[in-house]
């Protein structure tokens, strides 16, 4: 069975760029939602915490400009945070669960198909990771723009 285009992006980016987890926020009217959307844990990674994080992410919708997914939607550019645990709660809605589960680095990229914005993909790392604009730009231009 062939995997979906989103899952192919997840698998490729996690394998090539050292992230452990990815999830997708899809446009739903005037908001982005993770509810019912795909997520992926890199093989060989303990996925229990990431599955819990996905469940928490389903509780949060984002409008343009709010939270990392909303900021990426509004600006149509990527956002990289070396440690989400250092952000204030008003800037990172899932701060409490990120601290509880040991989520650190996050790279958020917009996802388009045929030039049409579909949503935002977030890639996570279970350790702090210095911002790497070259990696983020490469992922945005080569993996998340279809």
Per-residue pLDDT tens, the chain, 146 aa: give them. 467 899 999 999 999 998 999 999 999 999 999 988 888 988 888 777 788 888 888 999 999 999 899 999 999 999 999 999 999 888 888 899 899 888 899 999 999 999 999 999 999 998 999 999 999 999 999 999 98
Separation of alpha carbons 36 and 101, rounded Å: 21
Distance CA 91, CA 94 (A): 9
Domain locations along the chain:
5-142
β strands within the chain, DSSP E: 21-28, 31-33, 39-41, 61-62, 79-81, 106-113, 116-124
Question: pTM for this one?
Answer: 0.92
The C-alpha atoms of residue 112 and residue 15 are separated, in whole angstroms, by 21
What does CATH list as the number for 5-142?
3.30.450.40
pLDDT at 2 (0 to 100): 65
Q: What pLDDT, on the 0 to 100 scale, is given for residue 128?
A: 93
What is the pLDDT at residue 13? Answer: 95
pLDDT at 93: 86
């Amino acid at each position: 069975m062939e995997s979906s285009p989103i899952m192919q992006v997840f698998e490729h980016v996690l394998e090539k760029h050292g992230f452990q987890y990815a999830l997708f926020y899809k446009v739903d009217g005037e908001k982005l939602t993770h509810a019912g959307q795909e997520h992926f844990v890199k093989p060989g990674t303990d996925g229990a915490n990431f599955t819990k994080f996905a469940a928490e992410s389903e509780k949060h919708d984002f409008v343009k400009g709010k939270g990392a997914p909303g900021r990426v939607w509004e600006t149509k550019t990527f956002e990289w945070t070396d440690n989400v645990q250092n952000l204030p709660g008003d800037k990172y809605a899932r701060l409490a669960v990120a601290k509880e589960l040991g989520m650190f680095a996050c790279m958020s990229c917009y996802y388009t198909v045929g030039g049409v914005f579909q949503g935002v993909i977030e890639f996570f790392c279970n350790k702090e990771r210095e911002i790497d604009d070259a990696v983020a730009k490469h992922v945005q231009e080569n993996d998340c723009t279809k």
